[in-house]
Structure 1
Amino acid sequence: MSQLRPLFLLILAVVAGLLGDIVSVLATLRGWPAPVMHWVSLVTLLAVAAGVVVGGWRVYRTRNRTAKRAISPLVAFRVLLLAQAAAYAGAALGGWHAGVLVDLVSGGGFGSGASWAALVQVIGGVVLVAVGFVVQAWCKIPPEDSSGQGDKGTEGVEGAH
């Protein structure tokens, strides 16, 4: 399993930001509202982040052999995939809303409901990216278990290339 690449996430966020800015400019020219998710959708983003953290914490405890009941390597692998997907989604959503925010602020200043919603979504995207990196680190196989000789844990979670 390959690790998250910060440069790729940055490129994804920048491309999404450019697209968000372009679409926001076009929407403004046509008299449409800003293409921003409502701030209430942050609840969903935070629920996803919380689920990833809980799953990652279970993997971490199993990896460090402090869990009462070990989880299977397949479950640990799925948690890792979910963490990486959350990071990619956070980069895309955060970038999009950053682009829209740039257009909103440059066009009319900060303070409208759409600009606040865009800012909240940018923060939510950053949180998802951070959660992705943290949980990915929790899912790494400790150096002493790199031979695959561990007795209960996440063998093969981060080492399968």
Structure 2
Amino acid sequence: MRTIRPAWLIVVTVVLAVLGWVGTVLSSRASMALPVLPLSSLITMGLIVVVCWILGLKVRRWRDGKRDKELDPLLAARTVVLAQACAYAGAVLFGWHLGILLNQVPTISMRADLGIVWQLLAMMAGGLCMVATGVVVERFCKLPPDDTELGAEPKEKRETHGKEGYA
């Protein structure tokens, strides 16, 4: 499994910012409301972050040597997948609401109520929390490299002669 690539998080954020901006333009042309998530979705985002942290800390505690109980490898794999999904979902939410905010910047001074701006900023902050949680929890699940004795030569990879090296 590959680790989270920060460049991909940035690409996802930029693409969704463009899509959010376009969605806002299209919805305003059709006289529809802004396509912003309600503030109640912050509760769901917070629950995802908390669950991700709890599972990540459990894996990290086992990795750091507190091995009272055996760690289920499936739990560890699911924790990594949850962390990656959390990071990418956070990038999507941050980018989407950033695009809407960028579209609304010229009209902010004309608004009597700045509630929508605060709502956009709250959703962007929630997205950033999800990205940070995903990246950190994924790091919790990495095993340290195997230690080799001083002076010992690392083992060479065996040749596969065109075949994939699966177990």
C-alpha distance in structure 2 between counterparts of 1:132 and 1:78, whole Å: 13
C-alpha deviation, 1:104, in angstroms: 1.7
Change (3 A) 1:145 1:38: farther
Change (3 A) 1:47 1:11: same
Name the counterpart of 1:14: 14
Name the counterpart of 2:151: none
C-alpha deviation, 1:18, in angstroms: 0.4
Higher mean C-alpha displacement, 57-66 vs 111-120: 111-120
Q: Deviations over 1:64-96 (max 9, x none)?
A: 122532321111010000000000100011100
Name the counterpart of 2:141: 139
C-alpha deviation, 1:130, in angstroms: 0.4
Question: Tell me, what secondary structure is at the counterpart of 1:143?
Answer: coil
Q: Does the CA-based 8 Å contact 1:17-1:98 persist in structure 2?
A: yes
Name the counterpart of 2:130: 128
C-alpha distance in structure 2 between counterparts of 1:145 and 1:90, whole Å: 35
C-alpha deviation, 1:63, in angstroms: 0.8
Change (3 A) 1:84 1:145: farther
Q: Does the CA-based 8 Å contact 1:58-1:67 persist in structure 2?
A: no
Query: Comparing both structures, which one devotes a greater share of its residues to helix?
Result: 1
Name the counterpart of 1:80: 80
Name the counterpart of 1:4: 4
Q: Deviations over 1:20-58 (max 9, x none)?
A: 011111111221111000112111101101100100000
Q: Does the CA-based 8 Å contact 1:21-1:103 persist in structure 2?
A: yes
Q: Does the CA-based 8 Å contact 1:15-1:95 persist in structure 2?
A: yes
Given residue 124 of structure 1, which amino acid in structure 2 is its aligned partner? G
Higher mean C-alpha displacement, 86-95 vs 67-76: 67-76
Structure number with greater Rg is: 2
Unaligned runs of 5+ in 1: 147-159
Name the counterpart of 2:163: none
Q: Does the CA-based 8 Å contact 1:90-1:129 persist in structure 2?
A: yes
C-alpha distance in structure 2 between counterparts of 1:115 and 1:143, whole Å: 46
Given residue 105 of structure 1, which amino acid in structure 2 is its aligned partner? V
Change (3 A) 1:35 1:138: same
- Any runs of at least 4 consecutive aligned residues in structure 1 with deviations exceeding 6 A, and if so which? none
